[in-house]
């Protein structure tokens, strides 16, 4: 991972009365958000999310923040505050709770409900949970917390104010400033202004859309587009979106009702989350509109709407299976309409376009953000961020939640409004707020923690590199048997390849050079099989690079008989 602060060493102890900020994830990537605040020897964590792997993380299921810097201080954690229910903010919580099971969890009603179902899936006991709402104050050790309503692409999101002896911190969480949201719950700029008047010492702000000029389009602007799509379609409609995007699902339900269609959910997380959202009153389901997805097929196609998971091209999700014509009960028909009412998260492009191509090949009309306004972002654009800086008038700003380019753009916006001190930190870079000034004071070692099947953190960057080599270059094994007394090659070399040339005779030309090299090594006094294996690796590596322009993984095995 690139790092703008390569020269930093471990930070000195935190001065008395200072607040330390340790980002463990989310600064330098969109995902696995986790920030630790330290005051007077006590810790407060904001968010604990996952990052979804990209093409260059073959075989990886999830990527976690690195808990290592706080692992032996988990007893000092007062609470984990969850700003909202997105996976990049709550998804790693079960893994943290495996290390200390009784960390108090703090979040809004919907956030805790979504988290609860996740903890049950991981078979974790529900720990002490503190449900909070905007306007509420709650104290954990030296941290006095207050919550502020923010608008985002999931209901019930909160910004958090953290008051300590070091000053006032305002963390926006993920937010935007949609002025006409479906639920009427806007980002509370009154409260931002009041905090600004009181004095915000450190303002941590969502960088995701800092490069996007202007203002993020309102969620409501999607409604007329959906209406046109529904009006034009005379067959089945399938809409894919995030399984937590309650308001997007609401708009699809409303369009379905307006056009006399019935709706079924496809995908486990969609079924589960929408049941929670409906139970808690965040989703209004008009009577009679929902049908079990499997029974929907009994209706004529022009009466059917499916709301599905898989909008990011996830290979195991419903939409991807439909695009390959192997979903267990949804078979696409030519003329069906598929709407991807979703963002395109960086890194998922290939997977998403693979799905779109698969759907198009089956004859579906595919509507996506590239050809229609069927998605709006959940994050504040540059104009909204400028507003916030002018209202909050913070002393120090720390951009969070983004790749480095997003955080740099966000830093520029803060400076443009006159903020004098902007600290640009990536994962592991430690920031202290002392006497009202935030400064980078060092860094702690953090890396990617890969979840792979049942293992957590056992797969290293080195094995990830091996996987990439195997995936891109293939594999060669060379087996040679050497007589331990005479030092002569008595059998082999036997060369086997995978993901390389199919024709085994390809390797004939390198067999004699291998034997010659082994003989030469032994003549020079090489005795153990490790040295001989290195010899074989060198000869084969040079040959394959010269003759085939390839760098496969080479596994030499020299057996002494």
Strand partners, 37: 21, 44
Q: Which is nearer to Zn ion, 263 or 277 (CB)?
A: 277
Give the span between the Cα atoms of 84 and 174, in whole angstroms.
8
Q: Which is nearer to Zn ion, 29 or 336 (CB)?
A: 29
Q: Which is nearer to Zn ion, 182 or 359 (CB)?
A: 182
Please give the torsion angle defined by the CA atoms of residues 21, 126, 157 and 423, in that order, rounded to the nearest 10 degrees.
10
Question: Any idea which residue has 């009679």 for tokens?
Answer: 288
Q: Which is nearer to Zn ion, 204 or 478 (CB)?
A: 204
| Residue 86 touching Zn ion (CB under 5 A) | yes
Binding segment toward Zn ion, per CB under 5 A, in 80-88, 188-196, 402-410, 500-508:
80-88
Q: Least distance in Å: CB of 255 to Zn ion?
A: 24
Candidate list 29, 38, 87, 88; residue touching Zn ion; CB under 5 A:
88
Q: Is 379 assigned a catalytic role?
A: yes
Element (H, E) at 497: strand 489-498
Query: CA separation (Å) from 149 to 24, 281, 337?
Result: 25, 17, 36
- At 34 the three-state DSSP class reads strand
**What are residue 171's phi and psi, to 5 degrees?**
-110, 120
Q: Which one from 47, 66, 178, 206 is the annotated catalytic residue? A: 206
Binding segment toward Zn ion, per CB under 5 A, in 78-86, 238-246, 265-273, 484-492:
78-86
Beta carbons of 472 and 549 less than 8 angstroms apart: no
Q: Least distance in Å: CB of 64 to Zn ion?
A: 15
Binding segment toward Zn ion, per CB under 5 A, in 86-94, 120-128, 264-272, 485-493:
86-94
**What are residue 495's phi and psi, to 5 degrees?**
-115, 125
Task: Please indicate if the annotation marks 201 as binding a ligand.
Answer: no
| Residue 156 touching Zn ion (CB under 5 A) | no
Q: Which is nearer to Zn ion, 154 or 510 (CB)?
A: 154
Closest CA to 78 of 37, 134, 135, 115: 37
Element (H, E) at 411: helix 404-416
Binding segment toward Zn ion, per CB under 5 A, in 87-95, 107-115, 177-185, 296-304:
87-95
| Residue 247 touching Zn ion (CB under 5 A) | no
Beta carbons of 79 and 107 less than 8 angstroms apart: no
Left (φ > 0), alpha (ψ -120 to 50) or beta: where does 471 sit? alpha
Task: Please indicate if the annotation marks 401 as binding a ligand.
Answer: yes
Q: Least distance in Å: CB of 430 to Zn ion?
A: 22
Q: What is the largest CA-CA distance in the chain?
A: 88
Candidate list 174, 178, 188, 336; residue touching Zn ion; CB under 5 A:
174
Query: CA separation (Å) from 251 to 54, 178, 224, 274?
Result: 30, 16, 10, 13
Give the span between the Cα atoms of 418 and 397, in whole angstroms.
11
- Tell me, by CB under 5 A, how many residues bind Zn ion: 3
Contact flags string 314-353 toward Zn ion, x per CB under 5 A: ----------------------------------------
Task: Please indicate if the annotation marks 61 as binding a ligand.
Answer: yes
Give the span between the Cα atoms of 471 and 442, in whole angstroms.
37
Q: Which is nearer to Zn ion, 113 or 296 (CB)?
A: 113
Binding segment toward Zn ion, per CB under 5 A, in 91-99, 169-177, 478-486, 512-520:
169-177
Q: Which is nearer to Zn ion, 172 or 233 (CB)?
A: 172
Closest CA to 212 of 393, 417, 386, 340: 386
Task: Please indicate if the annotation marks 445 as binding a ligand.
Answer: no
Number of neighbouring beta carbons within 10 Å of residue 183: 15
Query: CA separation (Å) from 133 to 106, 111, 245?
Result: 10, 11, 20
Q: Which one from 379, 406, 427, 432 is the annotated catalytic residue? A: 379
Q: Least distance in Å: CB of 465 to Zn ion?
A: 28
Q: Least distance in Å: CB of 35 to Zn ion?
A: 12
Q: Least distance in Å: CB of 28 to Zn ion?
A: 14
Binding-site residues from annotation for Ca(2+):
59, 61, 452
Binding residues for substrate: 243-245, 375-379
Annotated binding site: 59, 61, 84, 86, 88-89, 152, 174, 243-245, 375-379, 401, 452
Contacts to Zn ion by CB under 5 A: 86, 88, 174
Report the catalytic residues.
206, 379
């Amino acid at each position: 991972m690139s790092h703008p602060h390569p020269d930093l060493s471990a930070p000195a102890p935190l001065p008395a009365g200072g607040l330390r900020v340790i980002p463990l994830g989310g600064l330098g990537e969109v995902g696995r958000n986790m920030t630790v605040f330290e005051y007077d020897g006590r810790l407060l964590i904001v968010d604990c999310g996952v990052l979804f792997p990209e093409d260059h993380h073959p075989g990886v299921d999830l990527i976690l923040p690195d808990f290592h810097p706080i692992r032996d201080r988990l007893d000092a954690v007062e609470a984990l505050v969850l700003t909202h229910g997105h996976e990049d903010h709550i998804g790693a919580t079960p893994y943290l709770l495996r290390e200390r099971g009784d960390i108090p969890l703090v979040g809004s009603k919907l956030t805790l409900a979504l988290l609860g179902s996740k903890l049950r899936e991981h078979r974790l006991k529900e720990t002490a949970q503190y449900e909070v709402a905007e306007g509420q104050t709650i104290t954990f050790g030296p941290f006095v917390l207050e919550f502020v309503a923010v608008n985002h692409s999931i209901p019930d999101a909160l910004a958090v104010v953290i008051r300590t002896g070091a000053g006032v911190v305002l963390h926006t969480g993920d937010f935007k400033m949609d002025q006409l949201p479906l639920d009427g719950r806007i980002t509370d700029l009154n409260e931002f202004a009041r905090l600004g008047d009181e004095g915000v010492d450190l303002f941590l702000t969502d960088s995701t859309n800092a490069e996007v000029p202007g203002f993020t389009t309102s969620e409501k602007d999607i409604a007329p587009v959906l209406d046109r799509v529904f009006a034009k379609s005379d067959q089945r409609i399938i809409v894919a979106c995030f399984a937590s995007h309650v308001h997007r699902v609401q708009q699809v339900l409303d369009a379905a009702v307006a056009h006399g269609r019935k709706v079924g959910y496809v995908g486990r997380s969609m079924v589960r989350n929408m049941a929670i959202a409906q139970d808690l009153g965040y989703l209004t389901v008009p009577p009679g509109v929902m049908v079990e997805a499997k029974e929907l097929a009994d209706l004529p196609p022009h009466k059917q709407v499916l709301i599905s998971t898989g909008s990011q091209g996830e290979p195991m999700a419903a939409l991807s299976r439909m695009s390959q014509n192997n979903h267990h009960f949804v078979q696409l028909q030519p003329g069906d309409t598929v709407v991807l009412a979703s963002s395109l998260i960086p890194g998922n492009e290939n997977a998403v376009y693979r799905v779109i191509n698969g759907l198009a090949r089956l004859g579906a009309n595919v509507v996506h953000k590239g050809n229609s306004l069927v998605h709006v972002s959940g994050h504040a654009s540059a104009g909204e961020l400028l507003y916030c800086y002018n209202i909050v008038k913070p002393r120090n700003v720390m951009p969070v939640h983004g790749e480095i380019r997003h955080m740099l753009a966000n830093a520029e916006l803060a400076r443009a409004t006159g903020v004098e001190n902007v600290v640009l930190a990536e994962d592991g870079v430690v920031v202290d707020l002392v006497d009202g000034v935030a400064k980078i004071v060092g860094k702690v070692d953090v890396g990617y923690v890969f979840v792979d099947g049942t293992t957590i953190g056992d797969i290293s960057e080195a094995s990830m590199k091996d996987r990439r080599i195997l995936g891109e270059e293939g594999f060669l094994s060379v087996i040679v048997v050497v007589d331990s007394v005479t030092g002569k090659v008595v059998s082999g070399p036997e060369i086997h390849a995978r993901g390389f040339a199919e024709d085994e005779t390809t390797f004939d030309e390198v067999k004699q050079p291998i034997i010659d090299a082994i003989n030469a090594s032994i003549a020079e006094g090489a005795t153990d099989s490790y040295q001989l294996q290195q010899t074989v690796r060198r000869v084969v590596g040079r040959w394959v690079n010269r003759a085939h322009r390839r760098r496969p993984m080479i596994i030499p095995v020299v057996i002494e008989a």
